């Protein structure tokens, strides 16, 4: 009898324990901890960000390709000649007269080749960093968070695509008739080559820099090989990376933060028109570019250091900065700003608008 009671008590206890263990299994979804949901690395949403970002970059740069090339030419041309590219309209007319439509698009192929992964990485990284900083939306997305996410996204994207940017800069100015000047540090043996190439005794005649390049050098791969061969290998493809990162971090941070702040003020739900969306991008791009433009000039100067015919020889970013201020004044840090602002407004407006449009089309939110 005692054994039977003990057995029944054991069964009852087992049943009770089983019920206690099984009961919580039903409401598990109700107590799921926010922010702990596992998301696949290559999720459809992430792919949508990447595709939308790439298309946004390509569209924005193609629209303003002539102004992009003009900005680079004005940033790097020497100041010792009256054959400079001065004025936006007159320079564009001159570019068309000397090189035609092909001159307007010079460097745009490599630019798009660079900007597609650059923009894709930037937008995708920004979206992911926003989620990470806010713990998947459980914390408020404030302005410092947007600035931090944008800055880190900019650094990530520029480090991933910088060699393409350097090669694009070289190709953009290779066929422009920029006055050539002999650098004081140039060897004596190089002087006959210059004279022979230009068929003149002066060293700052307004002839294309491409006189020093073979036709095979005026391609993306050819210019890449030439830089590596003549200027120190793979390391030469990253010349100017430090000032670029210094400029890109605040630029992208301000760009994203300004855009989202302006979207909240200019495009409320009842007034979200195409014109208002484009205005937000134009204003955001103009603000961020104006504040960080000196870094862009410094980057271009560093990128063309190896093109000895332009006369630029710098030992680093700080040396380049001191040299520009000493020889050209603070104004030298803003050369090409006007055509750049004309470029930035439609470029950033197109970029953000295309990104939002493609992202919505692909179903990403």
Tens of pLDDT, residue by residue over 336-351, are 788 778 888 999 999 9
d(CA 192, CA 301): 26
What pLDDT score was predicted for residue 205? 45
What pLDDT score was predicted for residue 19? 45
Indicate if the pLDDT at residue 212 is higher than 90.
Answer: no
Neighbour-count burial of 326, counting CB atoms closer than 10 A to its CB (0-12 exposed, 13-18 middle, 19+ buried): exposed
Pick from 7, 111, 132: nearest CA to 59: 111
Residue 206 · residue 175 · CB < 8 Å: no
pLDDT tier at 172 (50, 70, 90 boundaries)? confident
Per DSSP, 232 falls in state: T
| pTM exceeds 0.85 | no
Tell me the HSE value of 359 on the side-chain side, using a 13 A CA sphere: 20
Per DSSP, 179 falls in state: B
Q: State the chain's mean pLDDT as an integer.
A: 76
Tell me the HSE value of 103 on the side-chain side, using a 13 A CA sphere: 17
Q: What is the dihedral of CA 320, 324, 325, 326, to 10 degrees?
A: 100
What pLDDT score was predicted for residue 183? 45
* pLDDT tens-digit series, residues 250-284: 999 999 999 999 998 999 888 889 999 999 999 99
Residue 104 · residue 50 · CB < 8 Å: no
Indicate if the pLDDT at residue 119 is higher than 70.
Answer: yes
CA angle (170 as vertex; 167, 172 as ends), nearest 5: 110
Phi, psi (rounded to 5 degrees) for 336: 85, 10
Residues β-bridged to residue 206? 179
Domain ranges of the chain: 44-361
CATH node for 44-361: 1.50.40.10
């Amino acid at each position: 009898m005692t054994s039977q009671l003990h057995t029944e008590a054991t069964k009852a206890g087992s049943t009770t324990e089983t019920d206690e263990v099984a009961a919580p299994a039903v409401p598990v979804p109700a107590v799921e901890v926010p922010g702990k949901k596992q998301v696949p690395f290559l999720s459809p949403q992430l792919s949508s960000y990447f595709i939308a970002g790439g298309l946004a970059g390509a569209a924005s740069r193609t629209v303003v390709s002539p102004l992009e090339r003009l900005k680079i030419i004005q940033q790097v041309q020497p100041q010792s000649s009256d054959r400079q590219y001065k004025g936006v309209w007159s320079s564009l007319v001159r570019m068309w007269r000397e090189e035609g439509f092909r001159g307007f698009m010079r460097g745009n192929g490599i630019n798009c080749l660079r900007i597609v992964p650059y923009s894709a990485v930037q937008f995708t990284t920004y979206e992911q960093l926003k989620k990470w900083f806010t713990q998947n939306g459980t914390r408020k997305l404030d302005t410092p968070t947007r600035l931090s996410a944008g800055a880190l996204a900019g650094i990530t994207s520029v480090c991933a695509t910088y060699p393409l940017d350097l090669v694009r800069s070289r190709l953009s100015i290779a066929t422009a008739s920029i006055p050539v000047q002999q650098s004081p540090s140039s060897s004596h043996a190089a002087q006959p080559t210059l004279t022979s190439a230009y068929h003149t005794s002066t060293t700052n005649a307004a002839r294309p820099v491409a006189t020093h390049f073979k036709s095979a050098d005026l391609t993306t791969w050819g210019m890449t090989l030439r830089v590596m061969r003549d200027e120190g290998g793979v390391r030469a493809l990253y010349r100017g990376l430090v000032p670029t990162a210094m400029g890109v971090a605040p630029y992208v941070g301000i760009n994203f933060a300004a855009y989202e702040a302006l979207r909240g003020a200019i495009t409320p739900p009842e007034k979200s028109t195409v014109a208002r969306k484009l205005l937000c991008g134009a204003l955001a791009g103009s603000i961020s570019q104006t504040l960080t433009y000196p870094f862009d000039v410094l980057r271009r100067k560093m990128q063309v250091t190896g093109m000895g015919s332009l006369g630029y020889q710098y030992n680093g970013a700080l040396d380049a900065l001191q040299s520009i201020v000493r020889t050209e004044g603070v104004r030298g840090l803003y050369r090409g700003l006007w055509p750049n602002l004309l470029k930035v407004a439609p470029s950033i407006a197109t970029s953000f608008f295309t990104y939002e449009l493609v992202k919505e089309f692909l179903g990403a939110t």
